[in-house]
Amino acid sequence: MSTISPSATKEMGKTLAAKGVILIDAPISGGEIGAIQGKLSIMTGGPEETVEKVRPIMEVMGRTITYCGPSGSGQMTKLVNQVMVVHTIMSIAEGFAFAEKVGLDLQTTLKATSAGAAASHSPKALGPKIIEGDLAPAFMVDLQQKDLRLVLEYAEQLNQPLPGVALVHQLFTTLQAQGRGTDGTHALIDVIRQFGKQA
């Protein structure tokens, strides 16, 4: 259920299949709170009939169990999830930094944008934490960096440029260089704020 390399997952699946063992890759999204509440999103890869056999076990942990395809498909889907998540975090960081720069009240800004096209889970979950200055992790920078390295490595194998992911990866590296790898990913706003102070 860890987020690991899709290529390594496929190789492990082949090795285990030769010994009569079936591997299901089932990475998760939803963070610590989702795990505690049994509301994770679980992305599965492997033989569909085997996934269905263990579905009742996964339903104890997750609210949404999605069959994504053969071995490695769960991992690839999780990497897609991480691509989208980091772009959302970047948009929150830039939006809030811009709002602060022009003198807007962040609470009002969050309320207004959450009612429009910018509404999504991440601003709802992370926006209040940013406003309160609470950078405790829902998901740590260090863990996100591990996932982004997997994304970028696999994208390179596919010859698929992901310039936005590469940028966010470098910005998170700035936080790590400041000794803040255990902060939540929403600490990205501090890097964007630092750029504004230099301008």
The residues annotated with a catalytic role in the active site are 78
Radius of gyration of the chain (CA): 19
- The answer to whether the beta carbons of residues 188 and 168 sit under 8 Å apart is yes
- For residue 52, the Cα-to-chain-centroid distance in whole angstroms is 25
Q: Is 86 exposed, middle or buried (0-12, 13-18, 19+ CB in 10 A)?
A: buried
Give dist(CA 113, CA 106) in Å, integer: 10
Sign of CA dihedral 117, 191, 101, 109: positive
DSSP H/E element including 29: strand 28-29
H helical segments located in 66-117: 73-101, 106-114
First to last CA, the chain: 43
